[in-house]
Structure 1
Amino acid sequence: MRYLTSAQLETPMTTPESLRPWLTELTSTPVFDDLAQPFAHPPMATTTVVLRTEQSGRSRAFVVGAQTKASYSRPDQPAGCVRLRLEPGVTRQLLGVAAAELTDRAVRLDELPGPLGTFASELTQLPAEQAIGYLDNELPQRLSETDTDRAHRIVLREAITALTADNAPSLPELTARLAVSERQLRNLFTAGIGLSPKHFARIQRLRRVLAYAGNSPWSHLAANTGYYDQSHLTADFRTLMGVPPAAYLRGKLPAPTRCRLPR
């Protein structure tokens, strides 16, 4: 069975300049009404605010935390979405909680105490473009950042850049380069992304494999994405995706479940 990913349907939207310090990406997905089509959701190292509008006109705003393993689902209602993917390190400032509190969860936006949570009602009552325009006007006025917050974000950004490079350093090498302890770095990743540095690196490496899967032999992919060998790639792939690489490419995937959305 052929599974889609949401990324295959997403269209990038222009992020207003005032929101760029807080968002890595802004995308929209048109109303998808094929309820028989299953979706694959690979692990994701990002906290995402989702504005979901069903074909009936009902709108909901919720937050999806970092996802540590893949899931497979089938939509229960025709719906379109706007997704606001948050910059690493800004979850507490925008949502009022550490990213780790959202990992592997989907939570209603209006249940969160941060500035974005207070806008949930307006965001569900406005069309998508107007909702983004509303945030453009209102959100920056509600945000503040201390020197410590800014310094933590800089360290986190530098660590992410290093861990997503082809020649990613080991954790001891990275902490020495950044002049922080392993405990400090782990705390920054947990609060700012919702994952440990090691799990973050695993997910990013897996997503590179998924981007090139089917275009070259698995042994070449393993060497080019930083795995020790093909067997290590296969084991990590199975752990994170729930199936071996070859089965994934053949479409032999777990049976889809209904989308889990907060009520």
Structure 2
Amino acid sequence: MLRPWITGVRNVSSADPGGAAFVHLPDAVTKVVLRVSADGHRDVLAVGPRVRASYHEGKAHLSCLELRLAPGTALPLLGVPAAELVGRAVPLDRLPGGTARRLARKLRHLEPGEVVPYLAEALPGTLPAAADHGRTALVRAGADALSVRAGRAPAQVRDVARELAVSERQLRNLFAEGVGVSPKHYARIDRVRTVVTRAATASWSELAVATGYYDQSHMTSDFRSLMGVPPRSYVTGRLPSTTPCRAAAGG
């Protein structure tokens, strides 16, 4: 079982250099990424949270297997707080965690289809002794409460802190270690990502209400801040200029 360490697995590929832009959405998640280039070269990276969107040119025949880490997992798995990885893509074997280095050595030699079965067997016996379960449980409960869910708008940071019986400062410290961004910015990223995914199925005013914004103007302002363009421009393909893609992976 991958849970509670990995919350999602995704294959990402690009084979159209110079074609349509691809987007790295803001993402309050740390990932482990197995990246395979056209010549077969493999990298295993720790990719930290991304606080704003970026837009990139196509890159030929690059494929990535993306493992999304659960909140609170970065420190026991990678050996560093998530805050140290924000906006970075770091070779996994350069991180201080012994588990990270062992994973890097193993994953580099696995085919993408072999990664999940290997982790399902390896992770349960690796992390429990290293993890602070109390802190991890608080981070995960906070992240869930601040996220948009079907039929439920995200809670306010002050209400989440009160519900978890911690101060807002303690909650910020927990999020810095376990998520990498503040609770407020985590909630902003989650709302904007929800707007992106639901834009084709709901009106702007409905989206604003469903995602916990004061009104449509507030949603537009937040979206522009994180995505670089307002929602209508994004969904109609009027995007910012692209830049070359460096070491980051996934979107």
> Aligned to 1:32, which of 6, 10, 14?
14
Partners of 2:103 and 2:159 in 1: CA distance: 42
Partners of 1:139 and 1:229 in 2: CA distance: 43
Offset at residue 96 of structure 1 (A): 0.4
**More relative contact order in 1 or in 2 (CA 8 Å, sep 6+)?**
2
* Structure 1 unaligned regions, length at least 5: 1-16
Does structure 2 retain, via aligned residues, the 8 Å contact 1:116–1:139? no
Partners of 1:189 and 1:238 in 2: CA distance: 24
Q: Please tell me whether residue 83 in structure 1 is matched to residue 69 in structure 2.
A: no
Report the secondary structure of 1:243's partner residue. coil
C-alpha change, 1:140 and 1:210, in structure 2 (3 Å) is same
The percentage of aligned residue pairs carrying the same residue is 45
Q: For 1:109-258, list aligned pairs within 5 A.
A: 109-114=92-97, 115-145=99-129, 149-165=132-148, 166-258=152-244
Does structure 1 retain, via aligned residues, the 8 Å contact 2:8–2:69? yes
Partners of 1:170 and 1:131 in 2: CA distance: 37
**Is 159-168 or 240-249 further displaced after alignment?**
159-168
Partners of 2:123 and 2:162 in 1: CA distance: 37
Matching residue of 2:26:
43
Report the secondary structure of 1:63's partner residue. strand
Offset at residue 236 of structure 1 (A): 0.5
How many pairs are equivalent? Answer: 243
Name the amino acid aligned to 2:110: L
Does structure 2 retain, via aligned residues, the 8 Å contact 1:122–1:131? no
Partners of 2:223 and 2:5 in 1: CA distance: 31
Does structure 1 retain, via aligned residues, the 8 Å contact 2:139–2:175? yes
Partners of 2:129 and 2:176 in 1: CA distance: 19
* Structure 2 unaligned regions, length at least 5: none
TM-score of the pair, normalised by structure 1:
0.86
Q: Please tell me whether residue 59 in structure 1 is matched to residue 59 in structure 2.
A: no
Offset at residue 151 of structure 1 (A): 0.8
Offset at residue 123 of structure 1 (A): 1.5
Name the amino acid aligned to 1:86: L
